[in-house]
Amino acid sequence: MARCAMTGKGTISGRRIVRKGLRKSKGGIGLHVTSATKRKFKANLQHVRVKDENGTVRRIWVSTKAIRSGWVTKA
């Protein structure tokens, strides 16, 4: 999968947790986890034309954080 050339961000795995019941603060007996399904958290990556140190133009995957921070110069 794609990975940011500047920050190293990529896809990480996690879980989607489903809860059932009424919270104790609402007067219930508490929440109970009924299922935990695997899922993926994908980084916000953009395929950008970038000028490198030599002045050549390349297309690389870059996270939006790197673009906003000014770590890359668009061609």
pLDDT in tens, 6-49: 999 999 999 999 999 999 999 999 999 999 999 999 999 999 99
Q: State how far the Cα of 62 lies from the Cα of 10, in Å rounded to an integer.
A: 10
Report pLDDT for 53. Answer: 84
Q: Is the pLDDT of residue 52 over 90?
A: no
Q: State how far the Cα of 47 lies from the Cα of 58, in Å rounded to an integer.
A: 10
**The tokens of 74 are what?**
């668009």
Which residue is listed with tokens 């034309």? 49
Comparing CA positions, the residue from 30, 67, 62, 32 lying closest to residue 46 is 62
DSSP assignment string, 5-23 = TTT----EEEEEEEEES--
